[in-house]
Amino acid sequence: MLKNEVAIVTGGGGNLGAAIARKLADQGVFTVVCGRTAATLKVTVAEIAARGGTADWYCADVTSCDDWEKMVDEVQRRAGMPVSILVNNAARFTWRAFRDWDPRAFRDVLESNLLSAMYGSRAVMDGMRARGGGSIINISSVHGIVADKNVAPHVATKFGLNGLTLALAQDLKDDKIRVNAVCPGAVEKDPVKIAALANEWPGSRMLLADDVADVVTFLASPAARAMTGALVPVYGKTHPGIKTL
């Protein structure tokens, strides 16, 4: 159990973010889900409450430094202690040929997928240092390890997120702040397919959100106390590009 821990999970109203939040809350973490849409965040909080966990929600734009500072201050006020776990999960993903990307749209992906993680890490690090350490977990992608066509911004930002993870692990290790990344393959979102896949061996099927959430929960726990600067692959059915490594 992760008693007396406080987590922020960005993208907490989506499929993967909600699963991560539920798993952390199951372990006793006071979990705050963050996103832009209150309605979806409230659903996640209600699901956690129904399972006996403790959670809250906060609407914020994770591409804004100011929003990050305000959110962390408010979360710490509500919790009565600093944030100890940060899961940078918010991201944008679009299939589009490179020639069709305009600079503004490319920058939007950069801000959502990479800069938001930098802003969030910056906002929580002083509190983590004050409480004697913490865990930052970046949700990267298989596309942070191998490339694919028609996803240039995603590939560029996830490679960048992996680099940020490695750099921050070095910068923050003396403060006992661990920084790791999870690199998932595609995650199934269709509820009907999820139910059908749940009992299949993960190596032969698409990932479920809970597959990734279990790894995130491990990285947040004392069991992963010796891990920092790790890029953890969670592929399920292996991505075709992996064979090129």
**81 lies in a domain?**
yes
User: For the chain, what is the domain count?
Assistant: 1
**157 lies in a domain?**
yes
**30 lies in a domain?**
yes
pLDDT of 64 strictly over 70: yes
**Domain of 224?**
6-244
**104 lies in a domain?**
yes
**Mean pLDDT in residue range 119-123:** 98
pLDDT of 57 strictly over 90: yes
Mean pLDDT, the chain, rounded, equals 92
pLDDT of 52 strictly over 90: yes
pLDDT at 43: 98
Q: How far apart are CA 116 and CA 157, in angstroms?
A: 11
Q: Which residue has the tokens 């910056």?
A: 122
Nearest to 200 by CA among 231, 237, 158, 164: 237
pLDDT at 56: 98
Q: pLDDT class for 54, splitting at 50, 70, 90?
A: very high
pLDDT at 151: 87
pLDDT at 243: 46
Nearest to 61 by CA among 74, 70, 49: 70
pLDDT of 16 strictly over 80: yes
Q: pLDDT class for 179, splitting at 50, 70, 90?
A: very high
pLDDT of 239 strictly over 90: no
pLDDT at 4: 92
Token code pair at residue 139:
């949700």
Q: CATH number of the domain that 138 lies in?
A: 3.40.50.720
**1 lies in a domain?**
no
**232 lies in a domain?**
yes
pTM to 2 decimals?
0.94
**185 lies in a domain?**
yes
pLDDT at 160: 97
Q: pLDDT class for 240, splitting at 50, 70, 90?
A: low
pLDDT at 93: 78
**150 lies in a domain?**
yes
Helices assigned H by DSSP within the chain: 15-26, 38-50, 65-79, 103-110, 116-130, 152-171, 191-197, 209-220
pLDDT at 238: 60
pLDDT at 245: 34
